[in-house]
Structure 1
Amino acid sequence: MTNQRTKMLTLAAMMTAIIIVLGFFPGIPLGFIPVPIVIQNLGILLTIELLGPKYSFISICLFLLLALFGLPILSGGRGGFAVFMGPTGGYILGWFLAPLVLGTILHILNRHQDLSWWLELIVVIVAGVLFIDTIGSIWLAIQSHMPMSAALLSNITFLPGDIIKAGLSVFLARRLRKLPHLQGLI
């Protein structure tokens, strides 16, 4: 039991590192809202799919704590408390909560059946992407003094890329779960 826990914590640390590496890619500013398009949320989704609710929560919390303490590991080399209170703070909060929502739903569904690729993708889009974008929109509306409808509509811009990232995370997670040394762990 302890050996498996050690392996899972090691995987959680590795996924934290992958999320950090994805932050090296700068965000793409949109201009009409103060939230850029980033690739780091691919790492968040992949972490949740691979590690489940408990260990993905540990991994993402570690990542967010490092960013909160000022390490420049968020997309574009940002970090610190001010980023958490800025326009992207809601998306960061969504990242924090997503392991509990998406991870739990995937865990429950996987216990009862072997999910098809399409069903897994739909769950990741709804319980991952749309959940994070909704939390982000709510915070964006409050923080930027923007009407809620405008904040929600602005997120439509993110959906094509987010759907591609969700599909990529499902594809990668399904491939990685088949690796012999990861079977039984994830």
Structure 2
Amino acid sequence: MTPRPMDATDLARVAVFAALIAVLGLPGSFPVFGGVPITAQTLGVMLAGAILGPWLGALSVTVLLALVAVGLPLLAGGRGGFAVFLGPTAGYAIGWILGAIVVGLIVHAGNRRPVWWRTAIAMVAGGVVAIYALGIPVQSLVTRLALPETALASLVLVPGDLLKAAVATVVVTLLVRAYPRGFRRQWSAAPVEERVAA
């Protein structure tokens, strides 16, 4: 299926998800080891990739981060400004872009209708693994703590992120059934076993 060009509706969706990610930061954050906060914003990143697809999902995250870079306090705890991208959380923030791409690619693999098990895999692979893959090395570099120690300490973040992955999976699964038009993509027919699994 040839990707269709972006239109005004797509731009509006990008803006809505950038705003959603920002709003999910309003409850604040709970800082843990190395100053990396536990926030609900990763949930928005997962949903952006799943609902908008990999590229528009990544664009929505990029828009948010660009606004943060110019000084808007849109990250959890009212953080903003370019200094955010020089601190220990920088890799996690940039990892959101990769996370949205990975989530979108897996959820919509082969232009098939999303099913719960593929969505769950996507949320863990993109919303947790991909983000950590960038976040942990940058955190290690900034804090000057050895990479294995940083990775071990970061395990405290995993339960919360797995919970967000589970919530995102449920939201996407329900949305596919209740309002499939909410997704940008049109899906090809799924194999029988996938339709049954859904």
- TM-score w.r.t. the length of structure 1 is 0.88
Moved more, 69-78 or 98-107: 98-107
Which 5+ residue runs of structure 1 have no aligned equivalent?
Answer: none
The amino acid of 2:45's aligned partner reads I
Deviations, residues 109-163 of structure 1 (Å, cap 9, x unaligned): 5x2x445313321222023311101211010001110100011112211111101
> SS in structure 1 opposite 2:132?
helix
CA gap of 1:181–1:101, structure 2 versus 1, over 3 A, is closer
Distance (Å, rounded) in 2 between the aligned partners of 1:121 and 1:181: 18
Specify the alignment match of 1:140 in structure 2: 139
Question: Percent same amino acid among aligned pairs?
Answer: 34
Corresponding position: 1:80 with 2:81 = yes
Specify the alignment match of 1:162 in structure 2: 161
Q: Which one of the candidate residues 7, 14, 17 is aligned to 2:16?
A: 14
The amino acid of 1:13's aligned partner reads A
1:175 offset after TM fit, Å?
Answer: 2.0
Distance (Å, rounded) in 2 between the aligned partners of 1:183 and 1:66: 25
Distance (Å, rounded) in 1 between the aligned partners of 2:102 and 2:21: 19
> SS in structure 1 opposite 2:95?
helix
> SS in structure 1 opposite 2:15?
helix
Distance (Å, rounded) in 1 between the aligned partners of 2:76 and 2:34: 16
Specify the alignment match of 2:7 in structure 1: 5
Moved more, 68-77 or 5-14: 5-14
CA gap of 1:123–1:57, structure 2 versus 1, over 3 A, is closer
CA contact (8 A) 2:98 2:130 kept: no
Specify the alignment match of 2:45 in structure 1: 44
Specify the alignment match of 1:131 in structure 2: 130
Number of residue pairs aligned between Structure 1 and Structure 2: 182
Specify the alignment match of 2:170 in structure 1: 171
Distance (Å, rounded) in 1 between the aligned partners of 2:180 and 2:147: 46
CA contact (8 A) 1:49 1:170 kept: no
Which 5+ residue runs of structure 2 have no aligned equivalent?
Answer: 186-198
The amino acid of 2:172's aligned partner reads A
Distance (Å, rounded) in 2 between the aligned partners of 1:50 and 1:114: 11
Specify the alignment match of 1:27 in structure 2: 29
> SS in structure 2 opposite 1:174?
helix
CA contact (8 A) 2:52 2:183 kept: no
- TM-score w.r.t. the length of structure 2 is 0.83
Moved more, 21-30 or 95-104: 95-104
Distance (Å, rounded) in 1 between the aligned partners of 2:81 and 2:182: 37
Distance (Å, rounded) in 1 between the aligned partners of 2:45 and 2:68: 14
CA contact (8 A) 2:73 2:79 kept: yes
Distance (Å, rounded) in 2 between the aligned partners of 1:71 and 1:104: 30
1:176 offset after TM fit, Å?
Answer: 2.3
The amino acid of 2:101's aligned partner reads L
Q: Runs of at least 4 residues of structure 1 off by over 4 A? A: none
The amino acid of 1:145's aligned partner reads R
CA contact (8 A) 1:176 1:182 kept: no
Moved more, 78-87 or 96-105: 96-105
Superposed CA RMSD in Å reads: 2.0
